[in-house]
Amino acid sequence: MRIDILTLFPKMFDSPFSESIIKRAIDRGLVSIFIHNIRDYTHNKHHTVDDYPYGGGAGMVLKPEPLFEAVDSVKKEINRGNNTVPVILLTPQGQLFCHTIAQELTTKPNLILVCGHYEGIDERVREYLVTNEISIGEYILTGGELAAMVVVDAVVRLLPGVLSSERAIEEDSYAWGLLEYPQYTRPRVYREWEVPPILLSGNHQEIVKWRREQAIQRTLERQPDLLRRANLSEEERRLVEQIKQKGKI
């Protein structure tokens, strides 16, 4: 996969993409990430990328010319037609990012991420250039750079071969519609707090059952809306009702 990111602040990406899983994925040739400075596609000595909004109002608006030219340049470089590469704008007005969207994006050989900034972006960019709009949450950031990092991280870790264990992806929270069950490691007892005995029993079938029940209870307590999408058996649905009746939420 190749990911191109258009930004006004390219140095913000130096550290996040030079560490941990993403760096290993890059080193192994599983993903290529290119950062493009939007200012490089301007045509005046001041490298102007924004201007006052027509009709008045607070703040500045990103101009369309450098963004269109930047995307055109990237598409030419990767030899893709105008309609074959997703051009994703990171914006609070976008679709809320989730695991399902991350999975869908892994099927694309190329992604172009556009980091919004200032008060907004010229609407013609939305209408005629961008193919998707993504938000990472119901809050406002100073720009789309942090959101782009989140999207890249979530997508790259799902690419085949990036994680050492494919099972880790299969057991991810959200991958199976539930939050993750509680995890424990050594020591067995710490400050008089013991690991649940079931996890030490060696009974794999009972451990799987316990973890599933714990995941259901935790999801019900913290993000009950997820349960509507979860694939629950009839027995598990009865468990949900029992937890509700016992007043554990």
Catalytic residues, which ones?
A: 92, 119, 157, 172
DSSP one-letter code for 34:
E
- What 3-state class would DSSP assign to 194? strand
Dihedral (CA of 121, 123, 128, 133) sign: positive
Task: Give the contacts of 72 (CB within 8 A, at least 6 positions apart).
Answer: none
Give the whole-angstrom CA distance, residue 1 versus residue 74. Answer: 14
Surface-to-core class of residue 56, CB atoms within 10 Å of its CB (0-12 exposed, 13-18 middle, 19+ buried): exposed
Task: Give the contacts of 242 (CB within 8 A, at least 6 positions apart).
Answer: none
| C-alpha distance from residue 43 to each of 8, 38, 65, 70 (Å) | 15, 11, 9, 12
- What 3-state class would DSSP assign to 128? helix
State both tokens at 181: 């069950």
